[in-house]
A and B are shown apart, each in its own frame.
Chain A
Amino acid sequence: MENSVLIKTHELIKIYPMGQTEIWALNHVSLTFQKGEFAGFVGPSGSGKTTLLNIIGSLDSPTKGSAEVLGEKIENLSHNQAAELRNRHIGFIFQTFNLLPVYTAYENVEFPLLLLRMSPEERKKAVMEALEWVGLADRAKSKPAQLSGGESQRVAIARAVVKKPPIILADEPTANLDAENSHHILRTMEKLNKDLDTTFLFATHDEKVIGYLRRKITLVDGKVAKDEWLTPKTHGE
């Protein structure tokens, strides 16, 4: 079982200096995530959800404590090593989609593969597969400005999964979407989780997302208030 542990945090502390005072965004957080989990951090704004996601995603480093992702200690990584870890093993999905505006949907999804130095043929195959997965193969040539919110987020998901990373981190992925699009996207992610055994970690306070989670970790003032396993619900198409 220990072998399938992908992420482990131990006594994780993140402090932001704010003038003369300090804000404890994370306060002694210790958690473990296995391969294939579909888990979420929930809690009010400022509870530390995004900070925890950022540290796990090697976008930020802890003030104290340790965060180990795929055997790499985040606090010990250089900028380039952290970039390499994200590049190879982690996919991100953002609340505001964060698609590159001058690129087409195809080019946006292709981007992580360019960083992985894949050949054009391999890239094309993987990009079309990812776009088909999210049901947007026919919008490959559209630019983000020509896509709806739901479509944009699906492109963002395709971008996150195209390199088939073991971990996908999603920060409020449904916050800018209506209910129908939210469910569509969550079902897509659930399917990916099952098909590819990808570990999904969410930061959310959206009830719709929470309804899909199999593990819910409630954060309050940077501390783990509750860590509960939920009964998986059925969300068929």
Chain B
Amino acid sequence: MADSENTRRIAMMLIPKLALRNLIGAGMRTWLNVIVLSLSFFVIIWTQGMYEGMGKQAADAMTEVELGGGQYWHEKYDPYDPLKLQDAHGKVSGRIQDLVEDKLATPILIVQGTIYPGGRMQTVLLKGIDPSQTIVSLPSRFLQSEEELPVLIGGRMSKNTGLKKGDSVTLRWRDANGTFDALDATIVQVMRTSVQTVDVGQLWIPLEQLQEMTDMSDEATLVVVDKNYDSPQIITGWVFKDLDFLLADLMAMVQSKKVGATFLYVLLLFFAMLAIFNTQVLSIFRRRKEMGTLMAMGLARTKLVQLFTLEGAIHAVLAAILAAIYGFPLLWYFAVKGWAMPEVVDTMGFALGEKLYSTYSVSLVVGTTFLVLMVTTIVSFLPTRKIAKLKPTDALRGKLS
């Protein structure tokens, strides 16, 4: 029993053992292919890791600063329809009020307004937020100010309008009854944030003050819930939007960037596969006599096909090992130390910050390894189909049938 087990093990290991022996024996040719293929491995994992990192970083930042654990939207709220905004507000009461009181949610009221910085007119969104809230990491505490109308803006808004901390700007808005009113607001703080959606074209105002200004007492447009809130309820007049929904646009944007980057590594992979294919074709051509000898010694043609296919496929295994040796420190560096982003990235619509930290998931590494291994095996197999038709006598004479 033990003997038959041993024999089976030897039989199973025969082809891999021979393939490895042949590959190592082939020397430089093998290593050149392995190096090119390992570069493909590295570039695929690096670029995908960068985009995964980009998505995760942007999602984390947005979750932290803006989205919390999800949002209850007023049923009429549609961020893509500014005309509906004036009707998209409702009383924060009942179960939503309970969440707010339990410090599990914070309401935000959104109203359209106009500012006149430096004599120019600019449409803005006025966003009312409770200055003492801790649900999102927006620095709303600065709104606890003695100023008549304290306003918090982001760095991009500051840059676009020329407004700085301490500046005063005339603000005009329309209340719930459609009556226009105006007041001078004071910039109490310019916040640095990587999240553009809480920055560009927005003024943050104390919630109660905005409710009073707009005659929308106790009302909100949306309610941001805490990150740990995991039991969304059906509440009349409000619709719960989870993070998957709220981050869908961001993820779609990251995905589109990923597709662009795919071109680069598909090209690299193509060159690597071309090298493998070429090596296989050359190898089969050069080693006809060897194949004849192997057949004469009793190696069946199917085993010969397996041997040559495996030789090609082992390139991918060796490439993965090599890529791990030199790639791991580099990938670790990008994951821990980050990759400094040029300023232009700020216009790409991502909440990235100054550095991008790559993220390498298990699925990325396993998926890439599987992809490269599979493609290499297919490419290695294609030329070996010739062997399946090979006559031992022709092979021994150095002919391909």
Contact = CB atoms under 8 A, between A and B. Distances in A.
B318 to A, nearest CB: 16
A86 interface: yes
Contact of A57 (B7, B11, B26, B296): B296
A59 B295 contact: yes
Interface string B290-303: 10111111111110
Interface in A44-93: 54, 57, 59-60, 79-80, 83-88, 92
Contacts of A98: 289-290, 292-293, 296, 396
Given A101-B25, A103-B25, A107-B21, A59 B297 contact: no
29 contacts: A59-B295, A59-B392, A59-B393, A59-B396, A79-B300, A80-B302, A83-B295, A83-B299, A84-B298, A84-B300, A86-B295, A87-B297, A87-B299, A88-B298, A92-B293, A92-B297, A98-B289, A98-B396, A102-B22, A102-B24, A102-B25, A103-B25, A114-B10, A114-B14, A115-B297, A115-B298, A117-B7, A117-B10, A119-B6
A133 interface: no
A88 B299 CA distance: 11
B279 to A, nearest CB: 14
A112 B295 CA distance: 11
Could you say which interface size class chain A belongs to? 20 to 34
A101 B290 contact: yes
A219 to B, nearest CB: 17
Given A60-B393, A83-B298, A115-B298, A100 B14 contact: no
A210 B388 CA distance: 38
B241 interface: no
Contacts of B391: 60
Nearest to A50: B393
Contact of A83 (B6, B10, B300): B300
Contact of B293 (A85, A88, A94, A107): A94
Contacts of A54: 392-393
A117 B17 CA distance: 13
A103 B297 CA distance: 15
Given A83-B301, A98-B292, A117-B11, 14 more contacts: A57-B296, A79-B301, A86-B295, A86-B296, A92-B293, A94-B293, A98-B289, A98-B296, A100-B293, A100-B294, A114-B10, A114-B18, A115-B297, A119-B6
A5 B296 CA distance: 23
A54 B292 CA distance: 12
A83 B305 CA distance: 14
A211 to B, nearest CB: 27
A118 interface: yes
A225 B301 CA distance: 36
Residue of B7, B298, B396 with most chain A CB atoms under a 10 A cut-off: B298
Nearest to A81: B300
Interface in B226-267: none
Contacts of A59: 295-296, 392-393, 396
A94 B398 CA distance: 13
Given A60-B391, A102-B21, A107-B21, A86 B289 contact: no
A111 interface: yes
Contacts of A114: 10, 14, 17-18
B303 to A, nearest CB: 8
Given A54-B393, A100-B293, A119-B10, A80 B300 contact: yes
Contacts of B18: 114
B14 A115 contact: yes
Contacts of B6: 119
A159 B18 CA distance: 16
Contacts of A92: 293, 296-297
B26 A102 contact: yes
Nearest to B301: A79
Contacts of A87: 297-299
A103 B21 contact: yes
Contacts of B24: 102
Contacts of B296: 57, 59, 86, 92, 94, 98
Given A59-B393, A80-B302, A98-B289, A112 B21 contact: no
Nearest to B13: A114
Contacts of B302: 80
Nearest to A55: B393
B290 A118 contact: no
